[in-house]
A and B are shown apart, each in its own frame.
Chain A
Amino acid sequence: MSALIEVRNLAVTFGSGRSHVQAVRNVSFDVAQGQSFGLVGESGSGKSTILRAICGLAPISAGTVHIGGQPVRSPRDPAFYRQVQMVFQDPYGSIHPRHTIDRVLSEPLAIHGFKDAEARIEKALQDVGLGHGFRFRYPHQLSGGQRQRVAIARALILEPQILLLDEPTSALDASIQAEVLNLLDALRVEKKLTYLLVSHDLAVVAHMCDQLLIMQYGTKVEELTRDALQRRAATQRYTQQLLVASEGFKGP
């Protein structure tokens, strides 16, 4: 059975001529349906760029991306957006400051011609644990965690199969992070979603994902299962460095 997401030899280059930057070089991986796959790396590793390339926000300079066996079309078509959605990192920047939550959730429904918008909006808010009272608030009246829940609701309202998660909890406090991660986990099981999660935090990825890909400087370092990571069976030095670093500071 072919994977739901197939990335082959993906390269993303920004700029041209002398000032070009190769953000991603020759990265390949597969994500099976229902799987939760993690991309781990530090800043500049290209992990977020891969997500953006998959959904069309960054150009694919070389290589291919297949979703459900079909190559992605450029520009992406509405069917793609019904299949793949993204949750962004910054809860303060991913919701339009002048729109109520109601507008944020009803607009995608309007674009794609859904008829029962009212019911869908109420259900979406319930699914992410926000009550009805939140529906007509503005983003600045919500906390970071609540905004991120709205971002998740927005991503799920078109009933996609695949969620691309770009550091969804990096900007949240630790206690809120736990709630949002639990929510994402529960939603994945309930709605049978496939996740591609990007994070710099090895612990978050190890918790959420069965399989992970370590990246550095735009290229793949190695691919591991969670078990291998927990057994510290990393073959590459960089992975081991990350593992050591995640244990905190060790004095002399």
Chain B
Amino acid sequence: MTDLLQVAGLNVSFPSRDGPVRVVRDVTFNLGRERLGIVGESGSGKSQTGRAILGLTPGSGTMTADRLTFDGIDLRQASVKTWRTLRGPRMSMIMQDPKYSLNPVMKVGLQIVEAYRRRGDATRADGRDRAIAMLEAVQIRDPERVFRAYPHELSGGMGQRAMIAMMLIAEPDLLIADEVTSALDVTVQLDVLRILDDLVRDRGMGLIFISHDLRLVSSFCDRVLVMYAGRVVEEIAASDLHHAQHPYTQGLLNCLPQIDGARGPLQTLTRDTAWLA
């Protein structure tokens, strides 16, 4: 399996009053056409990693990497023109809250058509048909209505599905999903994941699934990266998670309450300052 994405020595730092703060430190991994989960708590640097891959590090931050290659293209040197051909058609990102990622004053359908037309010069009628087909593919029962609706008229789950439709209509090779299910109800979460699962399988996409929910990630992804304080502390196959080596991963797994768990106090995570090195 040739690697779609190769990341080595990725560093992102932001300036602060006491000097630069490294929020992503020496992150290294490869991604094929598989599902990779990146798990971490808040402040672990997982979102910034995703953004750095797409060249979306905020202006105040600095991103450096020994290697950042997408399908042979060196992203570190990419020009604005190159990014324009990559972002959208070949690499895409879905974010947490569709309310903030969808243009609130534009109808959903038009936004999806716009995303489609960025790929090439499709005619307008073609765009509309493809958009409706995509909305059906994400299991929206009344695609015509959603096509004509504004983002605020959709529920959380539907908005998220519309976002997925918009990001996938251009059929990217790489999709980064940043906490896409965190704001959703549990039953809706699974629906959305099922949709992502089908689409990734059908289209052979590479998926990076960023989340704080270790349980969810371990059940959905093939491989998992665990991040703490900007570093990757563990890289493991999802099925092997219970044999995790790093104490942070073990602690994270053990501190979760279980329905079948015992009544006594939950195991808490004692953070070792050695992990910050």
Direct A–B contact present (CB less than 8 angstroms):
yes
List the B side residues contacting A247 at CB < 8 Å. Answer: 219
Known A-B contacts A43-B156, A251-B197; A245 and B258 likewise in contact (beta carbons under 8 Å):
no
Within 8 A of A (CB), among B183-225: 185-190, 193-194, 197, 212-216, 218-220
Please tell me which one of the listed residues A175, A200, A203, A252 contacts residue B185 in the complex, with CB atoms under 8 A apart.
A200
Contacting B258 at CB < 8 Å: which of A175, A179, A203, A252?
Answer: A203
Min CB distance B120 to A, Å, is 33
Q: Which of B189, B252, B261 contacts A206 (CB 8 A)?
A: B261
Across-interface contacts of B185 in A (CB, < 8 A): 42-43, 200
Pick from B84-92, B136-144, B161-169, B263-271 the stretch touching chain A.
Answer: B263-271
The number of chain A residues with a CB under 8 A from chain B is: 35
The residue on A at minimum CB distance from B184 is A43
| CB interface residues, A 150-191, toward B, < 8 Å | 173-179, 181-182, 185-186
- A249 adjacent to B42 (CB under 8 Å): no
Complex Cα gap A204–B257 (Å): 6
In chain A, positions 30-60 with a C-beta closer than 8 Å to chain B are 42-43
**Is A242 located at the chain interface by the 8 A CB criterion?**
yes
A185-B214 Cα distance, complex, nearest whole Å: 24
B32 touches A (CB below 8 Å): no
Interface size, chain B (Cβ < 8 Å): 35
Q: Contact mask A185-213 → B, CB, 8 Å, 1/0?
A: 11000000000000011111011100000
Tally A-B pairs: CB < 8 A.
92
Residues of B with C-beta under 8 A to A74: none
Nearest chain A CB to B164's CB is how many angstroms away?
16
Partner of B256, one of A43, A202, A203, A243: A203
Q: Do A185 and B265 touch across chains, with their CB atoms under 8 A apart?
A: yes
In whole angstroms, what is the CA distance A176 to B268 when docked?
Answer: 8
Please list 13 pairs of residues, one from A and one from B, whose beta carbons are closer than 8 Å in the complex, sorted by A's number: A174-B213, A175-B251, A175-B255, A186-B265, A200-B185, A201-B257, A203-B256, A203-B259, A208-B257, A245-B189, A248-B215, A248-B220, A251-B220
Q: Pick the 8 closest A-B CB pairs, nearest first.
A: A248-B219, A207-B257, A42-B185, A173-B41, A178-B255, A175-B269, A178-B266, A249-B219
In the complex, besides A174-B213, A186-B265, A203-B261, 14 extra interface pairs with C-beta distance below 8 angstroms are A42-B185, A42-B188, A173-B212, A174-B214, A174-B252, A178-B267, A179-B268, A181-B257, A182-B265, A200-B185, A201-B257, A204-B257, A230-B259, A246-B259
